[in-house]
Amino acid sequence: MGTVCPSPLAVLVLLFICLEASVASSSGVPLYKNPSATVEARVQDLLQRMTLEEKVGQMMQIERSVANPSIIQKNFVGSIISGGGSVPKDRASPTDWMDMVDGFQKAALSTRLGIPLMYGIDAVHGHNNVYGATIFPHNIGLGCTRDPDLARRIGEATALEVRGTGIQYVFAPCIAVCRSPSWGRCYESYSEDPDLVRKMTQIIVGLQGKPSKAGVPFVAGQHNVAATAKHYVGDGGTYHGIDENNTLSSFKSLVNIHMVGYFDAIAKGVSTIMASYSSWNGKKMHGNRFLISHVLKKQLGFKGFVISDWQGIDRMLSPPNLNYTYSVETGVNAGLDMIMIPFDYVTFHDDMIALVKSGYISTQRVNDAVRRILRVKFSMGLFEHPFADRSLTGMVGAQEHRELAREAVRKSLVLLKNGKSKNDPILPLSKHASKILVAGSHANDIGRQCGGWTITWQGQAGNITPGTTVLDAIKSTVHSSTQVVYEESPDTSFAKGKGFDYAIVVVGEEPYAEMLGDNTNLTIPDGGIRTIQNVCSSVKCVVVLISGRPLIVEPYLPLMNAFVAAWLPGTEGKGITDVLFGDYQFEGKLSRTWFKSASQLPMTVGDKYYDPLFPFGFGLTAMAVEGNGATVFGSSLPLLSIFIYLVGQILL
């Protein structure tokens, strides 16, 4: 074989780095501590100073519940995570969070080289682990807004609230293309349509800031955070929507459907990408060297670091931890750079050291992983600003962020029915009614309104964080003379003959997240169905459905005077009353196909046999000026979708 010569450009870069190192050395300050030096020069300088143990430490991300200063110092830990519901204490304040994060950071900075750590947290619809934070609509609702600039502004607000707790790194956004609503994470997906998902990656610019150079990891400053595009790749296309299952597709389909969002995420300078639990054609993504190292890093030119999912290494074999050493070897050699362990850091550390010393994992692979991690840390200014900015505590739950969330709610609502005929619309509702009924399990419950990934991993019912319920919003919207009667579960006789002008019925799914949220029945819980039947058979009613996906509603539609899909709106219930009472128009259009029965699934727009209840892109608009009774019943539906919908109704 002939000698391989470096390109002239590579030689120039190397000479420039050496020149910088020489200047830094003469000043007595290590180059990596010089903020005026280039990122790549600082990375190279620090990397060559590190021992194997220090490098392995940078590749570890451990859970805050097992972390302490001694462990961080002894193992040179590079990153810490708060899992869902993992908090400093119950109802922790922003200052409590900052004190904890800064305490860990002080330990990291006291090590030989003083490499700061990154603290990561799920912030998938606002800073959702933190009591009192603004909770935005989940992504399925944001997809219905079709508003990339709104996504950007939500990213900016979320970044400020995250920084308001001293945290610098978020595991968001999820850019999965969910093809089956049976998947328990489907609400984390903006749409079944790859192009719509691609457009909503604008949230990355909000989280990180606008990059000066496309494709390079970038965080603009201390009001921004490092973002994570997840879960690479095909997580939304698993067989029958089963969580962590197998995506069966050609490479062309994988690229054209599930990889589209990653092209834009990388161009926007996303700092990290998280591997998916799922498999592609039987090959676990956490061990897929072709898709991680070749496609993502080489062909797409991703320069940030790839992080595993929670215990993703453990789950590469069945049962988990069947051969942990094999999983570490396979995952790291596939291209995983940072490992979300999160608990058994000792075993991972020891296995990594042994695998490198025995040659099963090369020094070059470790150096590549650490180089990528350090590149992100330098790019986000972590070495210059490792500690929390205490002036930002007021950003958590700030009023301007709640107003933004309220805007997002009203833009995400989709009006699917208004009136039992076009001549009999019920929306917008009158604020001057004499007596109204509010009913349903979700009318007065912040936890149900927010869904999963809120305060805890799976979420839970109850007033778990400050916010405005739908009932609260209704009471503050109607005239002071209007009598508002609330009944969570009315019986068949409750609404009869009581003089109600109309009823607002708010029902839906119980909170859930991955695994526990997988559901092939997709029906409204029985209590909700009974409430619809008991109320809507006696009085004119608007049904507001709180859910993370379309549910079977066809049998109950004839009972409803109006039907609104509100998805999982978050803490700001006034966004719902803004449109119900006509202060704003309905703007949302379905980001997902609304099926008639679960037997049709998976069914997505563009399928050969496409027979939905409401097609992708459907959304009515109700406009009125209250006081003169003038109401226009309209549609914002694209012409093709109108045609498909009308044909479907004729066939019915």
Other C-beta atoms closer than 10 Å to the C-beta of 456 total 19
**Res 645 pLDDT > 90:** no
Joined tokens for residue 453 = 């990934």
Quote the CA–CA distance of 218 and 211 in Å, as a whole number.
Answer: 6
Domain boundaries of the chain, sorted by first residue: 9-48, 50-388, 413-651
For 85, 96, 170, 343, 379, the CA distances from 91, given in Å and listed in that order, are: 11, 9, 20, 24, 33
Instruction: For residue 136, give Cα distances in angstroms to 125, 128, 572.
Output: 5, 9, 8
Is 94's pLDDT higher than 90?
yes
pLDDT of residue 253: 98
Any catalytic annotation for residue 161? no
Contact present, 60 and 307 (Cβ < 8 Å) = no
Q: Which of 262, 265, 161, 242 is nearest to 520 (CA)?
A: 242
**pLDDT reading at 543 higher than 60:** yes
pLDDT at 634 exceeding the cut of 80: no
Q: Which of 161, 193, 309, 572 is labelled catalytic?
A: 309
What is the reported pLDDT for 638? 45
Query: What burial class does residue 27 get, using C-beta atoms within 10 Å of its C-beta: 0-12 exposed, 13-18 middle, 19+ buried?
Result: exposed
d(CA 417, CA 426): 10
| Percent of the chain clearing pLDDT 90 (strictly above) | 89
- The answer for residues whose C-beta is within 8 angstroms of residue 112's C-beta and 6 or more apart is 54
Q: Which helix (H) or strand (E) holds 100?
A: helix 94-109
Backbone angles phi, psi at 522, to 5 degrees: 55, 45
pLDDT above 90 (res 650): no
Instruction: Give the distance from CA 590 to its chain's centroid.
Output: 18
How far apart are alpha carbons 462 and 460 in whole angstroms?
7
At 12 the pLDDT is 44
Kindly tell me if the per-residue pLDDT of 622 is higher than 80.
no
pLDDT band at 410 (very low <50, low <70, confident <90, very high): very high
How many Å apart are CA 39 and CA 61, to the nearest integer?
23
Asked if residue 197 lies in contact with residue 191, where contact means CB atoms within 8 angstroms, the answer is: yes
Q: What is the pLDDT of residues 442-468, one digit of tens each?
A: 999 999 999 999 999 999 999 999 999
Q: Average model confidence (pLDDT) for the chain?
A: 93
Band of residue 421 on the pLDDT scale cut at 50, 70, 90:
confident
Q: State yes or no: is 20 an active-site residue.
A: no
Catalytic residue among 510, 514, 572, 587: 514
Give the whole-angstrom CA distance, residue 282 versus residue 277.
Answer: 12
With 80 as the cut, is the pLDDT of residue 6 above it? no
Tell me: pLDDT of 626 over 90: no
The tens digit of pLDDT for each residue in 511-521 reads 999 999 999 99
In this prediction, residue 188 carries a pLDDT of: 98
Determine which helix (DSSP H) or strand (DSSP E) holds 623, and give its type and residue range: strand 620-625
Between the alpha carbon of residue 418 and those of residues 145, 414, 431, 545, 586, the distances in Å are 19, 11, 17, 14, 11
Average pLDDT for 166-176: 98
- Residues 115, 78 contacting (CB under 8 angstroms): yes
Cα dihedral sign, 16-20-21-23:
positive
Residue 15 has pLDDT above 80, yes or no: no
Contact by Cβ (8 Å): 588, 414: yes
The class of domain 413-651 in CATH terms is alpha beta
pLDDT band for position 623 (cuts 50, 70, 90): low
Q: How far apart are CA 567 and CA 564, in angstroms?
A: 9
Q: Is 107 a residue whose pLDDT tops 70?
A: yes
Task: Provide the pLDDT for residue 329.
Answer: 98
Q: Which option is the CATH number for 50-388: 3.40.50.300, 1.10.3720.10, 3.40.50.720, 3.20.20.300?
A: 3.20.20.300
Q: What is the pLDDT of residue 213?
A: 87
**Per-residue confidence band for 408, with pLDDT thresholds at 50, 70 and 90:** very high
Render pLDDT for 33-75 as a digit per residue (tens, 0 to 9): 999 999 999 999 999 999 999 999 999 999 999 999 999 999 9
pLDDT at position 472 over 90: yes
Q: What is the pLDDT of residue 637?
A: 42
Phi first, then psi: give them for residue 249, nearest 5 degrees: -165, 165
Helix (H) or strand (E) holding 541: strand 541-546
Q: What tokens does 501 get?
A: 């002008």
105-to-31, 118, 124, 167, 457 alpha-carbon distances in Å: 21, 8, 24, 11, 25
Which residues are CB-neighbours of 449 under 8 A, at least 6 positions away?
442, 467, 469, 470, 546, 568, 569, 570, 571, 573
What is residue 28's predicted lDDT score, i.e. its pLDDT? 84
- What is the reported pLDDT for 647? 42
**To which H or E segment does residue 289 belong?**
helix 289-289
pLDDT reading at 126 higher than 70? yes
Q: What is the pLDDT of residues 131-153, one digit of tens each?
A: 999 999 999 999 999 999 999 99
pLDDT at 217: 95
- C-alpha 356 chain-centroid distance: 35
pLDDT at residue 20, rounded to an integer: 53
Which residues, 6+ apart, have CB-to-CB distance to 544 below 8 Å? Answer: 440, 442, 470, 504, 505, 506, 507, 564, 566, 576, 580
Q: Which neighbouring-strand residues pair with 465?
A: none
**pLDDT value for 549:** 98
Percent of the chain with pLDDT over 70: 91
Q: Which of 182-186, 302-306, 419-423, 625-629 is predicted with the least confidence, judged by mean pLDDT?
A: 625-629
CA 172, CA 184: separation in Å to the nearest integer? 17
Distance CA 460, CA 443 (A): 15
